[in-house]
Amino acid sequence: MGVSLVLHPRNPYCPTVHMNVRFFVATREGAAPAWWFGGGMDLTPYYGYAEDALYNEYLLAKDWV
């Protein structure tokens, strides 16, 4: 099962945002189910600025590392 979200803002200075989550379950008779939950996100700017890219990467990484 998975969900994917995409936001296309009207403001050209705001990046497009894509994020998704996925959940998998594998079962086998006589064994406990194995499951995995994951996902990701990315930003796609229309007008790229190096300082914005560095700051956005910092914000994303600090919550995942």
d(CA 23, CA 35): 7
Alpha-carbon span 54 to 8, nearest angstrom: 21
Of the candidates 5, 9, 11, 18, the residue annotated as catalytic is 18
Q: Is 18 a catalytic residue?
A: yes
Task: Identify whether the C-beta of residue 59 lies closer than 8 Å to the C-beta of residue 42.
Answer: no
| Residues involved in catalysis | 18
